[in-house]
Copies of this chain bind each other. A is one copy, B any other.
Amino acid sequence: MNSPMGPKPNRTRQNDPAGFRTRVLDVAANLFQTHGYHATSIKDVMQATDVSGGALHHHFPSKKQLALAVIQDRVAPAVRQTWIAPVLSASSLEKGIAAVFREIIAGLESRGSVAGCPLNNLALELSLSDPDFRGAINAVFDEWQAAFAQRIAATRGGTRLDRAKRMDAAAFIVSVYSGAMTLAKSAQSTSPLRAAATVLSRWLRERDFS
């Protein structure tokens, strides 16, 4: 860890704990997203952030603690910002969902690769093996579905459904996106997302969810 050029200047930024936390969470979220949780080591996070093991350990006593913080402070806000807020504020549920799909597809195409939905990725890697991860991940899926069910209730078609049917429809929409992103990641192509968006838009109009 010692540089041959002598000690580095205050690289852990102890005087800026919020900045430190932000930087570590950004880097860890990105590593978990592109490589997965198990394929990312604490050493990878240290190297990518240039922080010491001691400083990292002080803020995040374990890799699991770090990942739980990533879910809560990076993945959940990303779902809120990408999906929940635009759909809740859209003039039409169908138009709101179509716009989010378009934005996601455009973003992937400008990046040129599909790393997948961070929630999906962590869900499949960690939900079975660890109840703490499962609870954290499921809370995000629940919030997402509840928001869609709420937005469905405000549509003409939604007023004709009981609460259970609105929840089914919300789960269906999240499932379509989630699965299409899995296919898109496998194919490293946005085609499955385009297919899903087209079919889903028509379904939403037919259900009077527009």
Residues of A in contact with B (beta carbons under 8 Å apart)? 34-36, 38-39, 113-116, 120-121, 123-125, 127-129, 134, 137-138, 141, 167-169, 171-172, 174-183, 185-188, 191-192, 194-196, 198-200, 203, 206
Point out the residues of chain B lying under 8 angstroms from A172, CB to CB.
176, 180, 195-196, 199-200
- Contact A183 B171, beta carbon cutoff 8 Å: yes
Q: Measured between alpha carbons, how far is A34 from B126 in the docked complex, in Å?
A: 10
- Contact A123 B176, beta carbon cutoff 8 Å: no
Point out the residues of chain B lying under 8 angstroms from A177, CB to CB.
179
- Contact B115 A128, beta carbon cutoff 8 Å: yes
Give the Cβ gap from A156 to chain B, nearest Cβ, in Å: 18
Cβ-closest 6 pairs across A and B: A179-B179, A178-B179, A175-B179, A38-B38, A168-B195, A175-B180
Given contacts A39-B38, A180-B175, contact A127 B195 (CB under 8 A): no
Point out the residues of chain B lying under 8 angstroms from A114, CB to CB.
128
Given contacts A195-B168, A195-B171, contact A124 B125 (CB under 8 A): yes
Q: Measured between alpha carbons, how far is A134 from B188 in the docked complex, in Å?
A: 8
- Contact B129 A168, beta carbon cutoff 8 Å: no
- Contact B36 A123, beta carbon cutoff 8 Å: no
Which residue of the partner chain, among B38, B171, B181, B203, contacts A36 with CB atoms under 8 Å?
B38
Which residue of the partner chain, among B34, B169, B198, contacts A128 with CB atoms under 8 Å?
B34
Given contacts A38-B38, A167-B195, A168-B199, contact A127 B188 (CB under 8 A): yes
Point out the residues of chain B lying under 8 angstroms from A128, CB to CB.
34, 113-116, 185, 188
Q: Measured between alpha carbons, how far is A59 from B192 in the docked complex, in Å?
A: 36
Q: Which of A114, A174, A179, A198 has the most B CB atoms < 10 Å from its CB?
A: A179
